[in-house]
Structure 1
Amino acid sequence: MAAGGADLVPQRDRARNMWLVSAIEGARMGGEDRYIGQQVLAIRMRRGITQRVLADRVGLSRGAIAKYENGERPVDSRRTLLDLAAALGVTIGDLTGHEQDRMDRSTAGFHSVVPDLETVLWTRGNVTDTRLPRMLDELTADSCQATKLRNDCDYAALGPMLVPMLTDAYRHVRDTDSEQAWDVLGTVAYGVASALRARGYHSLAWTAAQEVGRAADRIGSPAQYAAAAFSQGQIMLSRPGALPAALATTMGVASKIAADVRTVGEIENYGMLHLQASIVVATMGVDPEPHLTEAAEQAGRLASAMPNTSVARNESFGLANVALWRMSAAMERREPGEVLGLAPTLSPDDLPNEGRRAQYFVEIGKAHAMRKNHRESLYALLRAEHAAPQHVRTMPPVRELVGHMMRTAKRDLTTGDLGKLAQRIGVVPA
């Protein structure tokens, strides 16, 4: 190493780094494939630190960092991604984000309404709007339809519904201040938060989740408290250093409401808190089984639960979804054999929506990729894409795996379905 300190890039790395930086610029111009390691390299170079320093900060070997940066190894774990982002002082989005996602024609309708959603949230619905607001019952029915679209990851159809729904919910709260109006507002705001988070608008999603919490405080609803905490936990799961806070938020609310959980909606939202906690602790390297067991026990209560007193539901929750989260937790712990062993015990037809079915196949694809079974991984990812194309085509883990396979798989695979998938998700130029 050259004299002058650990943060100087070694001479022997410079030629290769210059080539890789050139490749990054080529990727930005549409001439190369893209992967997380390119961003890691670019940010590391801007910071002026060596691979060794970055490796020490992350707790990996220098060779591992080199393989991430030159594309020999995909960044296929949330924990590694969080550690890299923390070590570089950036967000996960800085490493995974592709600005052209928001120019994608299939989801342009969603992205185009985000500025108006921001205005409605900032003003709490006090905006210029001459429409007559829908009645609360009609608004509740529309929110159920929006939930289905969101769960099926049809963001193009969902986007145009969100601004008028949220505006009308705020109007009813202002006009009546009734518990029913607040309950509907909490449910609509939760849907807005979930959709915004899924499309990468984390800060605005947090604002919407806070509105769910405000509704919960107004009516004292356990289901709404759980929905707000689940949404906030999901957002924090994407932030380096926020895992302890994500766990404290979800489990703090779970402990607070546990004794009052009786209705179907309360059990669903409470159970989702434990599923969220299972992923957080798995990412932290802790056994997720206690949370998965608790979630399964709650799912078993649904058949005999009391009728709902709130419109806050999470119909994705159930025994099949618990099994899927068990697969996801195993994947977070880098246990591909466990994932592939669990997969045959769960039929995708038993999962409640297209988003969950897509996740099932993504987990299988990730597990096969970890075992270098590229053809099986491709088939699973194609099935995931078929279930929820708008979602799967912008998932960072999918992009990372497809890009890695394009660089390492046999030519007969890369020139066929894999190459076409790589073009559809934007890993390589069409």
Structure 2
Amino acid sequence: MAEHIGQRIAARRRARRMTQADLAREAHVSLSMVKACERGVRTPGASTLEAIAAALAVDASRLDTAYTGTSRRVHAALPAISAAIAGYEFALDPPQGPLSRIHSEVDAAVEWRLAAQYGLIASQAPRLLEEALAHLHRADRRCEAARLVVAAARAADAVAYKYGAHDLSARLIDVMRWAAVEVDDPVMSATVAYVQAETFLAARAHRAGQAVLERALDVTPVPRDDLSAATLGALHMRTAVVAARAADPDAAYGHLSEARRLADRIPEDIYLGTAFGPSSVRIHEVALAVSLGRDHIGRALDVARDWSPGDGIPAERRSGFWIEVARAQLWSGNPDEAFESLRTARRHAPQHVRQHPWAREDIGTIRRLKRADAASLTAYAEWIGAV
């Protein structure tokens, strides 16, 4: 079986015109691992297979037909993540390694989050959380340790939130808020407020979420550098979408305009684990229009007609863009275009698409409308769990 998996990896890699070194870099695995897998000398484990599949923009089951997906492994890891933060306010065990090592490991987890590699995060999150918290309780460099706690908790939260463990997600956000307060860092607090919006989105408490985010904007300092400008801009960007869900178009477009003004002064980049810049604002313009409903989808379609996010944008955000575009296309009476957009979203971040409720809902609708194309639509619907 390993030889067949390796052959599929190599064939897909060549089809995408990637070298083995390219694949190793994109998958965050060693070059020797890629070479060994392709030769059939090693069988990739579940997390390695998922990482390679994400880098090749396919679902892992395309490489290993016996692969059963990430869901079981993720759900098995959730209790360990919960246990890792159960006593977060208290100093328990001492750190097991230097701060520099946990720093590099948390940085890798941030990259996995941006690439929607949830299986990889789930396998490492409990240990990363325990180590980051241990350093915060004992470190002289408390601000750096606090940032690591926030980043590790945010990576774990991506898994909890996407897989429906919303109570655990809320507790992880509490850990983030506590760490930001511990070092009195307003920029970090604004970043945490950005993530906290998930709590209100999950509960569909959009008006309350808008109020909380706008209060966070009021206390966020005036930007003095790219980092603080990006943090404030991202918060405006998130508030715009929540305001749109709260059916407040004036506030939504006002916050989007503020985000765009701040984005125009800085390059597109990753700031404290959040992508921000002109392209990210444009992606959120589509999300805002779709969130406001059918009367606003023309704006989303106009953006998608002339522009699409490039590879410099994190895979999860690129995937989200195409999911939003698919919904606008479906609402406008173009199920064929919507299906193609969902297929594009899957190529960018299959694990993200598979857990996205809109993608599952919309593929079911498209399948009902397009029974003549039942084979390809059914295959996608079965993959995403819509049938």
C-alpha distance in 2, partners of 1:398/1:225?
A: 32
After TM superposition, where is structure 1 displaced by more than 4 Å over at least 4 residues in a row?
125-130
Change in 2 beyond 3 A, CA 1:304/1:350 = closer
Structure 1 residues 369 and 357: alpha-carbon distance in aligned structure 2, compared to 1, 3 A threshold: same
User: Is 1:167 aligned to residue 130 of structure 2?
Assistant: yes
- Quick check: 2:290–2:324 contact (8 Å CA) kept in 1? yes
Q: Quote the residue 1:146 is aligned against.
A: 109
Q: Residue in 2 aligned with 1:412?
A: 372
Output aligned runs, 1:252-331, within 5 Å: 252-259=215-222, 261-287=223-249, 288-303=252-267, 313-331=272-290
1:175, CA displacement in angstroms? 2.2
1:362 aligns with 2:323: yes
Q: TM-score, normalised by structure 2?
A: 0.76
C-alpha change, 1:140 and 1:302, in structure 2 (3 Å) is: farther
Q: Which residue in the other structure is 1:60 paired with?
A: none
Partners of 1:351 and 1:245 in 2: CA distance = 33
Mapped contact 1:185–1:212 kept (Cα < 8 A): yes
Matched, 1:427 2:364: no
Moved more, 223-232 or 349-358: 349-358
Q: Which amino acid aligns with 2:315?
A: E
Q: CA RMSD in A?
A: 2.5
Q: Within 2, Cα distance between the matches of 1:325 and 1:268?
A: 14
Q: Which residues of structure 2 form unaligned runs of 5+?
A: 1-66
1:362, 1:381 within 8 Å by CA — same for their partners in 2? Answer: yes
Offset of residue 304 of structure 1: 12
**Is 1:227 equivalent to 2:191 in the alignment?**
yes
SS at match of 2:240: helix
Q: Percent identity?
A: 23
Deviation, 1:303, is 4.7
TM-superposition CA deviations, 1:199-244 (whole Å, max 9, x none): 221111111111211122121212210122111112211214x222
CA contact (8 A) 1:268 1:313 kept: no
2:82 alignment partner in structure 1: 118
2:347 matches 1:386: yes
- Structure 2 counterpart of 1:408, one-letter code: L
Return the letter of the residue paired with 1:277.
T
Equivalence for 1:376: 337
What per-residue deviation string (whole Å, max 9, x for no partner) do you get for residues 59-101 of structure 1?
xxxxxxxxxxxxxxxxxxxxxxxxxxxxxxxxxxxxxxxxxxx
TM-score by length of 1: 0.68
Q: Is the 8 A contact 2:210 2:239 kept in 1?
A: yes
Contact 1:117/1:162 (CA < 8 Å) preserved in 2?
A: yes
Residues 126 and 245 of structure 1: CA distance in aligned 2, closer, same or farther (over 3 Å): same
Q: Residue 106 and residue 194 in structure 1: after superposition, are their counterparts in 2 closer, same or farther (change >3 A)?
A: closer
Q: Secondary structure at the match of 1:316?
A: strand
Match of 1:197 in 2: 161
Distance 2:213 2:312 in 1: 24
**Residue identity matched to 1:398:** A
How many residues align? The count is 316
Aligned AA (1:331): V
Residue type of the alignment partner of 1:182: A
Q: Which amino acid aligns with 2:241?
A: I
Give, in whole Å, the separation in 2 of the partners of 1:406 and 1:236.
31
The corresponding residue for 1:133 is 96
Q: Give yes or no for contact 2:121–2:155 (8 Å, CA) kept in 1.
A: no
* CA 1:274–1:182: 2 relative to 1, 3 Å: same
- 1:126 to partner: Cα distance: 6.7
Q: Which has the larger radius of gyration?
A: 1
CA offsets, 1:246-283, max 9 Å, x none?
11221111110132x33433332222211111111111
Higher relative contact order (CA 8 A, sep 6+): 1
Decide whether aligned partners of structure 1 residues 345 and 189 sit closer, same or farther in structure 2, where only a CA change above 3 A counts: same
| Whole-angstrom CA distance in 2 between matches of 1:129 and 1:312 | 31
- The CA distance in 2 between the partners of 1:304 and 1:162, in whole Å, is 28
Once residues 270 and 198 of structure 1 are traced to their aligned partners in structure 2, the CA distance between those partners, rounded to angstroms, is 25
Q: Which runs of 5+ in 1 are unaligned?
A: 1-102, 306-310
